[in-house]
Amino acid sequence: MASSSSSSRSYSEFSVFLSFTGETRTSFSDHLYTSLQEAGVLTFRDKEGIREGNDISDESKQAIEGSEISIVVFSKNYAQSICCLDELVKMVECKQKLGQKILPIFYHVTPSEVRKHTGEFGIALDQYIEQFGEETVNVWKAALTTVADLNGWHIMEDG
């Protein structure tokens, strides 16, 4: 999930789109965001991480399209967020169509869990089949697999 620190900014001005779930908002993702900002990297993230409904916002879509790179913080509950899954699909679409970069960070999950949809990822995706249909879930699975196959960082410890 993601949004700006300045609502007057054009989305094409962002260098990085930061996608993460609320579970890392006050820890890893917040530290990463702060570090990027202090380094002068214009970063888009959601204002508070809480959005009504399940749809990705137009603001997030525009920010993804206008960013040079997307950083995805995969954590245990990432697949439990439909918004995050939809953001991920949009990132993959922009990578394929526009050549944008995606940098995955595996925070307390392994790349294999994300790639093979096991553990919490598999549980969440299986639960979505009845609600959203197999076709939609397969699109999310393909995006997870694509991004998990990219070079990224694997973090298993705090600090």
Active site members:
87
CA 48 – CA 50 distance, rounded (Å): 5
CA 4 – CA 55 distance, rounded (Å): 18
Q: How many CB atoms lie within 10 A of CB 122?
A: 14
- Exposed/middle/buried for residue 15 (C-beta within 10 Å: 0-12, 13-18, 19+): middle
Q: How many CB atoms lie within 10 A of CB 57?
A: 17
What is the separation of C-alpha 91 from the centre of its chain, rounded to a whole number of angstroms? 8
